[in-house]
Amino acid sequence: MTSTGERPRTGTTPRPGDELPPLRIPVTRTLIVAGAIASRDYQDVHHDTEAAQAKGSPDIFMNILTTNGLVGRYITDHFGPAARLRKVAIRLGVPNYPGDEMVLTGTVTAVEDRLAQVRVVGANRLGHHVTGTVIVELPDSASDMPDQETPEVSA
């Protein structure tokens, strides 16, 4: 998984309209299966290609719990380890299949006290995989927010 762009600069507070840098996530068969197992979702459509195809899907596909975790990771990677997710409300759209790349993007839509609301979209070649809103509690001070770029991490 890789991120492009910069995290917030030390001493800055997010403002409505601020855009988070995109996070590009290669959707691998391993990510799909591992995410399903980690979230104890043993539905065969998340790990058995033949079963998924018998149910009308071209391949296995990512479960909602993995997507939810990736959205949360996107937000906390941006705002830093001291940030706390207070609400994650997402809706799934098109599936994430092996070989896809999901690109998460976000826009700050509101800031009140230490709470920021971020509109998140995760898109792949088929369209929007996930859309939603996250409310994140910001660290006590802007100086607790990260000031370096997100490192590249391979999935």
Is residue 122 within 8 A of residue 70, CB to CB? The reply is yes
Residues with Cβ within 8 Å of 132's Cβ and at least 6 positions away in sequence, in order, are: 71, 88, 89, 90, 91, 119, 120
15-53 per-position pLDDT tens digit: 999 999 999 999 999 999 999 999 998 989 899 899 999
**pLDDT (tens digit per residue) in 93-149:** 999 999 999 999 999 999 999 999 999 999 999 999 999 999 999 987 654 445 445
- CA dihedral 129→84→133→10, nearest 10 degrees, is -90
Task: Identify any residues that bridge with 123 across adjacent strands, giving them in sequence order.
Answer: 103, 128
According to DSSP, the residues that pair with 107 across neighbouring strands are 19, 119
How far from chain centre, in Å, is Cα 146?
A: 18
The pLDDT, as a whole number, for residue 141 is: 64
- Model pTM score: 0.83
The number of C-alpha atoms within 13 Å of 121 and in the hemisphere containing its C-beta is: 8
Q: Which of 69, 67, 100 is nearest to 85 (CA)?
A: 69
Q: Coil, helix or strand for 153?
A: coil
Element (H, E) at 75: helix 64-79
pLDDT at 8 over 60: no
Element containing residue 23 per DSSP (H, E):
strand 19-26
